[in-house]
């Protein structure tokens, strides 16, 4: 029996593992140690504390019944001993003990039957000059968050630069610009926001809504130096100087695995602690999980890194069960995520098209736009979904989406995300049984339409282009090489035809058969309607009439509008 369990780290995974174990074995002795005084907080809520949505930092440390999760809580409510301000110095695996230094400075050895390493991750630091100046922050802990909020409350911050356009960068940009009315610039090294998480095309939609709220983006740009005397005064990038009296670095995190390394536990090449599907490290008496471990990516079958509070919570529970002798497994993850950008959201799971190709897969992606509810139902939102598939096996590799934060987009992502590890094909998406009634879905729901479009694409019936490719054609519209065929009703198409008679023609789809001789046959035809449905039918009719050099703007004018592309 595991009578003595020590847990190092008391934020998400550590606390969960300790409490679950204690519930299963009420007589056991569990000690939770953390070098910080602030323990058991919801780190993912930090941006909403900064924004003022959450007024007090203690709310991030409270249960749903408003009890702060402090030492007393763990002792009285959970029967778990907590030692804050206590650092784990080293692990003696042979003698099964942990050397600790307590608040008082005193050191001692704590014996364990089983040990849990929940040391989490640290914010990455850019190796550039000036990172140590005043008002340069990372978003790594609740203490940092409190410091950022203090600086904001001081009223002296007028311009801020956020380094990094991933989750945390975007959430922090929204937080400080929306509530604090600070001129906010996001500098991102890649040529898109949320790199690796959504396609460039979807990223542009989110960027547009954030730009409309006043945030400035500097993409494909690196920060070279943080300038200023004592405090930050500006940021020098490849392209020039951005004035700033606050800098928030959000350039990713790295596993905090020093202790594990020194204990001789197996680490990955990137420094993650290696665990099996019971969350055991290379020492079976030592468990680990959360932001410091690598787990299996269930789409690629390779090691993956998914530092998210939700992972930590679920893995913590699995560890707690295993500590108590239950055979619990955590098979891996597909990387589901969601991020709010003002009134909209991006979400996804699995591989993006860019990542799939990098994995060496002959992958394709298809995008659709459709209402999230029956089109005849008064309340509804246009949402955008993108499916990433393996051309050969037709396996679904990933799904991403953009839509209103209160739309049905995230529900669609989740219904596909949770299937990804079952190795489903596009045909299963076509038949996906989403709950249907007009206030909640369409009879042919967008998620089914996505599967249908993918099937039509893989079978060669649908030849799509996305908004970014449209833009390439549009930019060469005067070259005479391409021609735009507007398949919408005349009332929509004619005004544009009148403006651009040389390369744009309105032939509503229902007039196509009798006006087939008006279609140019010597040019690449770009087919356009509202959402790509009528232009798909046009593509099929043209094909049947022998006109094969056509490209259907999937997601249609709705997709262009969402990307901020005007014709």
Q: Which residues ranging from 28 to 87 are in contact with a second copy (CB under 8 A)?
A: 42, 44-45, 48, 53-54, 59-60, 62-67, 72-73, 76-79
Closest CB to a second copy among 73 and 484?
A: 73
Instruction: Catalogue the E-assigned strands of 240-381.
Output: 240-243, 246-249, 253-255, 273-274, 286-288, 293-296, 303-304, 337-341, 344-350, 363-371
For the purposes of burial, counting CB atoms within 10 Å of the CB of 181, is it exposed (0-12), middle (13-18) or buried (19 or more)?
exposed
- Among residue numbers 12 through 31, which ones bind a second copy (CB under 8 A)? 12, 16, 23-24, 26-27
Tokens of 57: 């930092």
Binding mask 124-153 for a second copy (x = CB under 8 A): ------------------------------
Name residue 349's beta-bridge partners: 399
Binding a second copy (rule: CB under 8 A), the pick from 114, 355, 395, 509 is 509
Count of residues that bind a second copy according to CB under 8 A: 108
Edge to edge, what strands does the sheet with 303-304 contain?
273-274, 293-296, 303-304
Binding mask 472-491 for a second copy (x = CB under 8 A): ----------------xx--
Nearer to a second copy, 51 or 119 (CB): 51
Is residue 378 part of the contact set for a second copy (CB under 8 A)? yes
**How far apart are the C-alpha atoms of 141 and 163, rounded to whole Å?**
17
Minimum distance, C-beta of residue 430 to a second copy, in the bound complex (Å): 7
Residues 211-230 that bind a second copy (CB under 8 A): none
**Angle at CA 359, nearest 5°, toward 357 and 360?**
65
Give 21: exposed, middle or buried? Use CB within 10 Å, 0-12, 13-18, 19+.
buried
Residues 542-561 that bind a second copy (CB under 8 A): 544
- Is 487 catalytic? The answer is no
Position among 81, 113, 427, 497 found at the interface with a second copy (CB under 8 A):
427
Nearer to a second copy, 304 or 564 (CB): 304
Q: Report the b/e string of 128-153 with b at 16+ CB within 10 A.
A: eebbebebbbbbbbbeebeebbebbe
Residue 510 CB, nearest approach to a second copy (Å): 4
Q: Which stretch binds a second copy (CB under 8 A): 201-209, 262-270, 329-337, 518-526?
A: 329-337
Strands 482-486 and 524-528: parallel
Q: Which of 387, 399, 395, 400 is nearest to 361 (CA)?
A: 395
- String marking each residue 403-422 x if it binds a second copy according to CB under 8 A: --xx-x-xx-xxxxxxx--x
By CB under 8 A, tell whether 438 contacts a second copy: yes
**Sole binder of a second copy in the list 107, 433, 472, 498 (CB under 8 A):** 433
Q: Are 553 and 561 in contact (CB under 8 A)?
A: no
Three-class DSSP category at 446? helix
Q: Six-digit token pair at 553? A: 């703007």
Which of 19, 44, 482, 563 is an active site residue? 44
Instruction: Measure the CA–CA gap between 230 and 410, rounded to whole angstroms.
Output: 44
* Cα-Cα end-to-end distance for the chain: 71
Q: Which stretch binds a second copy (CB under 8 A): 81-89, 288-296, 430-438, 478-486?
A: 430-438
Beta carbon nearer to a second copy, 47 or 234: 47
Q: Is 337 in the site for a second copy (CB under 8 A)?
A: yes
Which parts of 318-381 are beta strand (E)?
337-341, 344-350, 363-371
Residues within window 163-192 making contact with a second copy, judged by CB under 8 A: 167, 171
Our measurement of the distance from residue 426's CA atom to the centroid of its chain's CA atoms, rounded to an integer in Å, reads 23
Q: Segment near a second copy (CB under 8 A), from 80-88, 145-153, 283-291, 440-448?
A: 440-448
Q: Contact letters (x/-) for a second copy, 345-374, by CB under 8 A?
A: x-xxx--------------------xx--x
Smallest distance from a second copy to CB 171, Å: 8
* Footprint on residues 262-321 left by a second copy (CB under 8 A): 308-310, 312-314, 317-318
Q: Does 541 bind a second copy (CB under 8 A)?
A: yes
**Cα(101)–Cα(92) distance, integer angstroms:** 15
Three-state SS at 10: coil
**Residue recorded with tokens 């690629």:** 300
Tokens 């006109």 sit at which residue?
A: 547
439 contacts a second copy (rule: CB under 8 A): yes
Residue 498 interacts with a second copy (CB under 8 A)?
Answer: no
**Shortest reach from residue 502's CB to a second copy, in Å:** 26
Q: Does 375 bind a second copy (CB under 8 A)?
A: yes
Distances from the Cα of 559 to the Cα of 66, 305, 385, angstroms? 43, 32, 11
Q: Which residues are catalytic?
A: 44
């Amino acid at each position: 029996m595991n009578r003595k369990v020590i847990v190092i780290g008391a934020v998400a995974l550590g606390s969960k593992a300790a409490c679950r174990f204690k519930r299963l074995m009420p007589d056991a002795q569990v000690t939770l140690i953390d070098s910080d005084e602030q323990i058991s907080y919801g780190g993912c809520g930090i941006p909403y504390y900064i924004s003022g949505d959450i007024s007090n930092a203690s709310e991030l440390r409270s249960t749903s019944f408003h009890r702060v999760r402090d030492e007393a809580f763990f002792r009285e409510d959970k029967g778990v001993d907590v030692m804050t301000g206590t650092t784990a110095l080293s692990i003696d695996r042979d003698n099964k003990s942990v050397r600790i230094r307590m608040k008082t400075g005193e050191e001692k050895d704590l014996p364990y039957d089983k040990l849990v390493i929940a040391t989490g991750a640290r914010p990455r630091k850019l190796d550039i000059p000036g990172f140590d100046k005043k008002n340069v922050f990372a978003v790594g802990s609740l203490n940092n968050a409190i410091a950022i909020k203090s600086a904001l409350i001081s009223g002296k911050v007028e311009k801020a630069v956020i380094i990094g356009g991933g989750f945390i960068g975007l959430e922090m940009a929204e937080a400080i610009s929306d509530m604090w009315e600070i001129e906010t610039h996001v500098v991102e090294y890649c040529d898109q926001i949320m790199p690796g998480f959504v396609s460039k095309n979807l990223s542009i939609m989110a960027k547009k809504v954030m730009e409309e709220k006043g945030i400035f983006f500097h993409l494909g740009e690196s920060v070279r130096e943080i300038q200023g005397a004592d405090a930050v005064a500006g940021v020098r990038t490849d392209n020039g100087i951005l004035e700033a009296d606050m800098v928030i670095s959000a350039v990713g995190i790295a596993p905090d695995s020093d202790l594990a390394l020194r204990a001789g536990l197996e680490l990955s090449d990137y420094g993650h602690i290696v665990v099996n599907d019971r969350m055991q490290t290379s020492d079976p008496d030592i468990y680990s999980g959360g932001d410091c471990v690598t787990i299996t990516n269930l789409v690629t079958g390779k090691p993956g890194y998914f530092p998210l509070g939700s992972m930590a919570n679920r893995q913590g529970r699995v560890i707690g069960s295993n500590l108590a002798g239950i055979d619990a497994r955590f098979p891996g993850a597909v990387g589901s995520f969601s991020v709010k950008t003002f009134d909209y959201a991006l979400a996804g799971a699995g591989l993006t098209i860019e990542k799939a190709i990098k994995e060496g897969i002959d992958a394709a992606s298809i995008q659709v736009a459709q209402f999230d509810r029956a089109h005849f139902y008064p309340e509804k939102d246009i949402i955008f979904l993108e499916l990433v598939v393996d051309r050969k096996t037709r396996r679904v590799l990933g799904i991403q989406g953009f839509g209103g934060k209160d739309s049905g987009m995230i529900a669609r992502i989740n219904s596909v995300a949770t299937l990804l590890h079952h190795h489903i094909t596009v045909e299963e998406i076509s038949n996906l049984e989403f709950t249907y009634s007009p206030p909640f879905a369409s009879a042919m729901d967008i998620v089914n339409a996505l599967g249908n479009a993918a099937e039509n694409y893989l079978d060669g019936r649908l030849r799509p282009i996305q908004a970014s490719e449209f833009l390439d054609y549009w930019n060469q519209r005067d070259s005479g090489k391409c021609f735009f065929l507007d398949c919408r009703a005349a009332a929509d198409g004619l005004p544009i035809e009148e403006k651009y008679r040389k390369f744009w023609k309105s032939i509503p789809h229902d007039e196509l058969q009798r006006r087939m001789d008006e279609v140019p046959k010597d040019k690449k035809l770009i087919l356009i309607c509202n959402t790509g449905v009528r232009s798909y039918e046009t593509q099929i009719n043209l094909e049947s009439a022998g006109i094969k050099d056509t490209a259907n703007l999937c997601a249609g004018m709705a997709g262009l509008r969402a990307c901020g592309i005007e014709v």
